[in-house]
Structure 1
């Protein structure tokens, strides 16, 4: 198909495929080799392979099928219906028998089920992940999955079975169950296409159509918000296996897809790869209490996103009722107050036993954020069912672990865990704000916390998906809503967008999130694909501005002021909104240059300079060297974004530090500002201030959250029990742990010689820190500890890369593996400003001893 030939470049990530267009359903192989600096070539790698899915809408011959036609239940997507019903009908299941009469070479199935699905073949669940296929604006994009069934099919009779859940596709309003909003894209439906290549070269296709059969399944209620009820008495043994008698089942109905186009079933289907969602970890109870007769509460020791799994025994018709929650009330009972769910409309899971020995169950099509599970049992007889075991299953995107951080200070390790668990708990198809009350993809986190996330996990595919969600949500006038997918529009009674829908700090994610992904992964495709959407949003902000000044939005959300947190209290909205606008324009300038759009780059650079000048004329007070009202956010954002005139930078930084010291080393910045506080202090070589802030254990601080028993980062700095107990929006210390304390500063947007900078904060009162990061260039490691008269520093730089290592002020001597730097040909020492020593190194492992 294609041979790149030898390409002499250190920028190997930008070698793109240049062969003929790929074909659907085709297996491709690839291999590579490299040359070293002496021109010596390596052997060829072992061949790797992949198979393309259905790349074109016309490749689909399958039909969307459902149990019922879309009717009055279908609501306009992205809209409140306000209609609450007493109950919903059980979710449908589907089946189809088919026969294979000769040996198979390859069998690939492409499948989607809305809102969510579980596919069975010959009595076996073949989906290796959960909550498929992923949340999108189904009118514009519906994802599907592919599975290789070659080893699972056999000659003779075979049978497909399909279970459907509601997910975000169909959110019901049911009396007595919690929901964030009510809305639907239509009835549950599915589409499936199995392509078989036989050993003799012939082919056949099995598709979803009216030959499939359907019946009501055992899931009697399912809501992504309200929970799930399962009646095991309604299970039909063998329903998903060959030979099952389905004569009393109904024929499936062929229906239009989510976009309403019945003539082209594949028109909105996308096989884009996104991270699979998996039940990745189990938590066992650390404590079981009985706060009231007949009620047991299981403490799983960790707040997380997922579901409980129970093993029970009891009489037929007995019911186990599970109430999950993040906190307990004064009586020791589970409360859902932190998630906004009251006792009249809680989130519940329930299981009704079939009464045949030991039974194990967990919800399939919903999840929740919880630490505790309250268990109540009911039975028509005196014998109540027995819960033999209960455990929690941690459900999140199955992303690669790219980073590892540790320090000799236990508090910092616990803070790292606190943030890490919140990140994972909110990584389920989107980056949600919390896994309880909302589950919505609030966008400001995607760029503000992006670097923190990317130091820990490989999330390029997730960020590509989020970018697609934002494009699907973008309005004709260029506005990007605060959430994507936009399942509910936050508008007032007149239909006008509120600040929750239209805030520059949130909408700018369309520009800043792909840019953040590029800085970590160096792939220009995410920039090129979404460039037009970025331009449209920048033009929208220009039209909304007052000669370049923006004064609307939420501002520094959840900052710490005199009132209950919410919209910004300490910082003017004009400061955060305009600073973000400037950041957008700077990013677009660089993106346009990367994409070869020089005239656009010039346009955005000129506009950025105009906004900078207006920003400083309007918001900077040169007589006091403060911005706006002098809050931490007000001074940190201009510092971090390069808005401060050079001659005033040190004075503004000093004022930022002064305010932090005035608050006894406590933070006052909120969701937006704290990110820039961390960056401004790290960039300004004031890790000592961050160290003091992160060492606090009184309110407000991470340490205070830990002292109050939090196991995930909470929404409010003071762990308010009426706020979410599982948010990652304030987790920006994570970036400092890697970039500041351990010293791994990585940015693919910088020139090749500056992509890796090692600059650990070794002068702090701590006995050492260590981090490793699996970058796209390879493994980067930095580990240091103090020794008599200086420090030990171990560094690993990946093959083909170079790095600059910055050492503390006043370094007198440096040795590497016992050799003085002056005797090591591979080391280049230079003195930077402020008497900072820099060492330039190539790939390899280094052991430095640094002396003052």
Structure 2
């Protein structure tokens, strides 16, 4: 008996010791649906994720062997060790990403608090993580009691510019006590800002994210309790016209004007108070209005008339007796939460020079091309109109009709500041001032979706560093509103083809899980509608079942989402196959494949209807079957053509879609789909080889770089011919093009992905190291501060801030830094590969990078000196790395033996390896 008691005491002491700490890891970086403490989500089974921090950075082999999650209705509950919503118990698993909530059904408009702890490789229990939260939105349509309201004014296309003011709305109400809880949900068509008792709520700008307003409106959740008080209160809403008048969004029941639907329950006093938009709200025109329309090269700007200001419009002191009642509308729109980071005014941009010109205007050089907001302090006579013109080009006062204006009020001074629009350019021409403004009078900001950076990179090659920096800056300037635009000044359209050139660059450099999940929902919304090209205010173009006499298959996709408009080809709609797969590989996210599987199937079904004898045929109008786009000298050669090379590339791309879809189907256990698509890919490959393969030089169609890359990436060549086709591509780059690139947006993205997967860093370096046309170095030599639309600079009407050539941005992390996801892993970067590039020291002598993967922060730092390569690599806890190095490899003076056919499998820790080349 005594022995048994001693055993029990020993067991208890051991458990206490384990629980008291000593674990090799602790959870950190908690996220819910990719977001940090998100508000107002409408996912009923949200997924929780974390990474691990090593408690001893010098140790090795840290792992997670189990986890325990607690979810409660208050932080106090968690402190007491209770999970009233969900207590997972100990789950024996190394998983730490996408842990699906399995607790009690979530309730609308509620707060949830959660934390996690883990067991390490020795079973020791970690400390609890910091507490994280999420709040829910309104799950059921019946939860919404509010009405859609507007000012009653509508925008009149063709009636000139600036013919509708951005309206104000306000509502006063009484509270019995200090609010304990008050979440206010705002859905708007057009941008909005929320004010409570005269104070703007939050730092978000240009809310909500851009959405297909023919079908959907996204709502944003705001915590307004801190802004409320006992007694009388007032809520103000300010709407911006913006996307509310976008032609493709014209729909029955919705006015051509901004509208809003908002509500919140305030818990104060003895009974909750519901505040909701209805016809009792008051409305009044604000001093701000849109200039121009909201159309191709007509995005305009904003006009502020200071004579119409009402400083206390959103405060209790305002006399709203002469304000009119809001108008109620009944649009048929799905309401869903905005589950992507909001827009924010972020990186400040300061002017570097101001030139006084002979015509009395002033030319401001902001030093860098950027998309965002500007603020200019002004003074003058009452009624003076000050105008601002924005330009990307030094010799032009205005590009793409971007302009704003300010009318001086009775005070004789004021500040122009963007609110519901943004500009894009480097130079500002100011007219109407009687004095030269100072540099301190002007401020700019980059405005973008507020995702977090996930990487750093530098190397010995200054041109590569410039490219990396400018590619990232360009990407950030293209990602306002929860999707990537082609350009922020001319079109603001979410092209699928351009997404190929940006998405992997984005994912290797930023945390974009929520961003791309949202964009995929946009693509699901637009499926079934042919792309709209033409006058967007001609309603005959919007959402027709038959256009130009062509049958509209339910699987067809427009070339942009959520924006419908613009031209493209199969690679534009085909992004709905590629992008979910890329996200899955990066994040281990199976749900994004499940949610988009039906869309993928319908898209491939549509392509089948356009196929004859296993070859895709040209379909649609002049702008519906583009292949590569914007290759060097493309405008002179004719981009929109019905050439054999376009037919070849698009058929190769269809095969790439089919093979990718088959991989997706296998992950999801859909064997029949996988086999069907694999069979079609094989038949199509055989047909392409019969029709387009040139046996004399092992090329395809016109022997172009683009068709060679597309065929190889799609695995079109038979296995015995693949090395010969690859050699032909090498010759095309190094010999025929003298090391230069000769592709555009579509084929360029395919080319760089192929070369990264093949480990041909030498070929990529050849193209990225050039300084003569066509190259990124040519852009640098010609004063570029952002990446251009075309390889040529001076062709009129083309953008100098564009999505076209951002694909090297992935290579710097994936290739030069050598960080690669293990293609055999279904857990994101829990298993990854480190392979320094096979480059000479006189090309790139050293490189270092950090990459915050979904599984933790990976670091590499390598240097070549003579016949030696030193590699420092950090493997995060719970991960393993396969390091591929040539020659004899030593660690801490000991020769390492390969424990894999390809190299050295390393557990968590930091290593300094020496390779004798």
Asked if Structure 1 and Structure 2 have the same fold, meaning a TM-score greater than 0.5 normalized by the shorter chain, the answer is: yes
**Correspondence for 1:264:** none
**Correspondence for 1:633:** 706
Residues 586-632 of structure 1: CA deviation (Å, up to 9, x unaligned): 22212222222222222222222222222222222334211122110
- Residue 746 of structure 1 deviates from its aligned partner by 2.0
Equivalent residue in structure 2 for 1:410, among 458, 462, 474: 462
Change (3 A) 1:621 1:10: farther
1:660-809 mapped onto 2 (5 Å cutoff): 660-661=733-734, 662-722=736-796, 723-746=798-821, 750=825, 755-764=831-840, 765=842, 766-808=844-886
Equivalent residue in structure 2 for 1:506, among 572, 576, 586: 572
**Correspondence for 2:261:** 191
- Residue 501 of structure 1 deviates from its aligned partner by 4.5
Q: Name the TM-score, length of structure 2 as normaliser.
A: 0.82
**Correspondence for 2:310:** 236
CA contact (8 A) 1:473 1:480 kept: no
CA contact (8 A) 1:111 1:191 kept: yes
- Aligned partners of 1:212, 1:91: CA distance in 2, in Å? 16
**Correspondence for 2:336:** 270
Verify: 1:62 aligned to 2:162, yes or no.
no
**Correspondence for 1:815:** 890
- Aligned partners of 1:643, 1:779: CA distance in 2, in Å? 36
Verify: 1:301 aligned to 2:374, yes or no.
no
1:594-613 mapped onto 2 (5 Å cutoff): 594-613=667-686
1:8-47 mapped onto 2 (5 Å cutoff): 8-47=92-131
CA contact (8 A) 1:814 1:848 kept: yes
- Residue 354 of structure 1 deviates from its aligned partner by 1.7
1:284-323 mapped onto 2 (5 Å cutoff): 284-323=350-389
- Residue 357 of structure 1 deviates from its aligned partner by 6.2
Change (3 A) 1:685 1:188: closer
CA contact (8 A) 1:278 1:395 kept: yes
Change (3 A) 1:494 1:611: closer
CA contact (8 A) 2:813 2:819 kept: yes
- Aligned partners of 1:649, 1:669: CA distance in 2, in Å? 21
CA contact (8 A) 1:447 1:516 kept: no
**Correspondence for 2:7:** none
- Aligned partners of 1:2, 1:594: CA distance in 2, in Å? 29
CA contact (8 A) 2:659 2:714 kept: no
- Residue 58 of structure 1 deviates from its aligned partner by 0.8
Structure 1 residue runs of 5 or longer lacking an equivalent are: 75-80, 173-179, 260-266, 823-827, 833-837
Change (3 A) 1:181 1:452: same
Residues 398-453 of structure 1: CA deviation (Å, up to 9, x unaligned): 11101111111111111112211211111012210001110111112323431111
Q: Which runs of 4+ in 1 moved over 4 A?
A: 180-185, 383-388, 479-483, 485-493, 495-502, 568-571, 751-754, 829-832
- Residue 84 of structure 1 deviates from its aligned partner by 4.5
**Correspondence for 1:78:** none
- Aligned partners of 2:641, 2:822: CA distance in 1, in Å? 31
**Correspondence for 1:842:** 907
Instruction: Give the match's secondary structure for 1:33.
Output: strand
- Aligned partners of 2:751, 2:219: CA distance in 1, in Å? 41
Change (3 A) 1:732 1:461: same
- Aligned partners of 2:194, 2:826: CA distance in 1, in Å? 48
- Residue 673 of structure 1 deviates from its aligned partner by 0.9
- Residue 220 of structure 1 deviates from its aligned partner by 3.6
**Correspondence for 2:514:** 461
Change (3 A) 1:751 1:709: same
Change (3 A) 1:86 1:308: closer
- Residue 372 of structure 1 deviates from its aligned partner by 0.6
> Greater CA deviation, 94-103 or 606-615?
606-615
**Correspondence for 1:176:** none
> Greater CA deviation, 747-756 or 20-29?
747-756
Q: Name the TM-score, length of structure 1 as normaliser.
A: 0.88
> Greater CA deviation, 583-592 or 42-51?
42-51
Instruction: Give the match's secondary structure for 1:800.
Output: coil
Structure 2 residue runs of 5 or longer lacking an equivalent are: 1-84, 553-557, 560-565, 619-624
**Correspondence for 1:163:** 238
CA contact (8 A) 1:482 1:502 kept: no
**Correspondence for 2:321:** 247
Equivalent residue in structure 2 for 1:554, among 621, 626, 633: 626
**Correspondence for 1:177:** none
Verify: 1:283 aligned to 2:358, yes or no.
no
- Residue 91 of structure 1 deviates from its aligned partner by 2.5
Verify: 1:118 aligned to 2:118, yes or no.
no
Change (3 A) 1:747 1:156: farther
- Residue 190 of structure 1 deviates from its aligned partner by 1.4
**Correspondence for 1:825:** none
**Correspondence for 1:175:** none
- Residue 541 of structure 1 deviates from its aligned partner by 0.5
Change (3 A) 1:272 1:90: closer
CA contact (8 A) 1:762 1:784 kept: no
- Residue 768 of structure 1 deviates from its aligned partner by 0.7
> Greater CA deviation, 181-190 or 444-453?
181-190
CA contact (8 A) 2:175 2:269 kept: no
